Amino acid sequence: MKKWKTVKDEYHNINNILNFHRSTMHHKSNMSVNHIIPVIDNLLTKDNEEDSRIVEIDPAELKENEDEFFKILEQRRTSWQFGTPMNREQLSALLTKAFGISQRRKFGEFWVNLKTYASAGALYSVEPYIYINDVEDELNGGIWKYDADNSRLVYVADTDVCKVNGLTSTTKFGVQSFEKSKIILFFVANFEVIFKKYGMLSYRLVLLEAGHMCSNLQMVSTKLGYSTVPIGGFYDLEVKKMLKLDHDRVCLYMAAVG
Ligand X SMILES: Cc1cc2nc3c(=O)[nH]c(=O)nc-3n(C[C@H](O)[C@H](O)[C@H](O)COP(=O)(O)O)c2cc1C
Instruction: Give contact residues for ligand X (rule: CB under 6 A).
Output: 77-78, 168, 170, 229-233
Report in angstroms how near the CB of residue 37 gets to ligand X at its nearest. 15
Q: Report the residue number, 78 or 81, with the smaller CB distance to ligand X.
A: 78
3-state secondary structure of 104: strand
Report in angstroms how near the CB of residue 127 gets to ligand X at its nearest. 18
Report in angstroms how near the CB of residue 76 gets to ligand X at its nearest. 7
Q: Report the residue number, 219 or 231, with the smaller CB distance to ligand X.
A: 231
As to burial, measured by CB atoms within 10 angstroms (0-12 exposed, 13-18 middle, 19+ buried), residue 172 is middle
Evaluate whether 182 touches 86 at the Cβ level (below 8 Å): yes
Whole-angstrom Cα distance, residue 258 to residue 237? Answer: 25
Report in angstroms how near the CB of residue 255 gets to ligand X at its nearest. 9
Left if phi > 0, otherwise alpha if psi is -120 to 50, otherwise beta: which for 114? beta
Q: Report the residue number, 92 or 232, with the smaller CB distance to ligand X.
A: 232
CB neighbours of residue 140 within 10 Å: 15
Q: Report the residue number, 185 or 231, with the smaller CB distance to ligand X.
A: 231
